[in-house]
Chains A and B, each alone.
Chain A
Amino acid sequence: MRVWKFGDDIDTDAIIPGRFLTIYDPAELAKHAFEGTRDEFAKEAQEGDVVVAGSNFGCGSSREHAPLALLGAGVKVVVAKSFARIFYRNAVNTGLLPLVSAGADSIRDGETVTVDIAAGYIEVNGKHLVIEPVPGFMKEIVDAGGLVAYAKNLDEVKTCSTE
């Protein structure tokens, strides 16, 4: 799986600019992914490619068009040193797997990586980089295949009291 490497603080305007937000189809959104900041991504990204970034990936807007654009481009996994909160939730909810790895910086653009989620590591150049486990309740959503699939099996939810 080819690596598309990005730096720190990659924001949602970079992933999908505001002028494309009337589009909802992932394949159509993918045509504009990283438009203006990394134009070759939309042309060359292949099914199964992996986006690797530094810290705070997906900062900015709550637009779910961002994970959808990556999914539309065939990306199923994003590995970063850290994620912005809303993007992280949006990714989990839509079925894009956000993996946190302190070793993300050592992965280079164009390298080939293998992600072994069950074993908890990424293999690159024969080295194993540890990925952090998906936290608590989110694991149930990931295992269900996203929040839509999770919700389909629910009639009602139990809420905690806020009193």
Chain B
Amino acid sequence: MTAIEAVAATKPSPSRRLQWLTATVRDVSDETPRVRSLALDVPGWPGHRAGQHVDVRLTAEDGYQAQRSYSIASAPETPGVTLTVERIADGEISPYLAGEARAGDRFELRGPIGGYFVWAAALGGPLFLVAGGSGVVPLMAMLRHRAAAKSGLPATLLLSSRTAGDIIYGAELQRLAEQGSGLKVVHTLTRETPAGWQGFTRRIDRAMLDAVGFPPDAGARCFVCGPTPLVEAVARALRDLGHAPHLIKTERFGPTGLK
């Protein structure tokens, strides 16, 4: 063995290539009728940062493979990996993950992936998080990390959901906001509102961002995640309001039809 090989052999992960790992479902819990969280045990998991995602690969008995990407919902401080998955009717993987998967099931996963849409308390704030529907998942990892790190950095989450029943993490968000750590959570409902609803009842727009967000000169780190039309409209409105473009980070998914 040469000296260089000897050095390489002592490093815990000489290869930075992503390896497919085996994930075992530890627990499943429903967030809404269409959204489920899966707590996974992943031996060999190297750890992650809030905002990152994983690729999931399922293999059928005949060898057919399907692969998709899902955001990590859990804080880096929590052991294992929790995914929160919305069931998409014509999807190949989400009907299994968000419907049929049971404790003890196994599938393949690789990650963590992504070094752009990430936040850590050490990066500073304030933190302005804007999400549509299940776009809240990577932002929840940031808020869980913020809580685990006992960060008092001012943070605001603006979450757009279709109905009150579609709000993901509603109870946990309320609990986090009531801890007095400087987190504000604001909801808007776009389809249907319960009796006595006091919050917003429209799609996120510039006026709403201006009303609930930080002033542009506060230097807030903005993270926007959700369907493509929402993400593009919000990112544009934030720039128009004067937020610095390099502080606005986006992650989009969804149909092209509305573009």
Do A and B come from the same complex? no
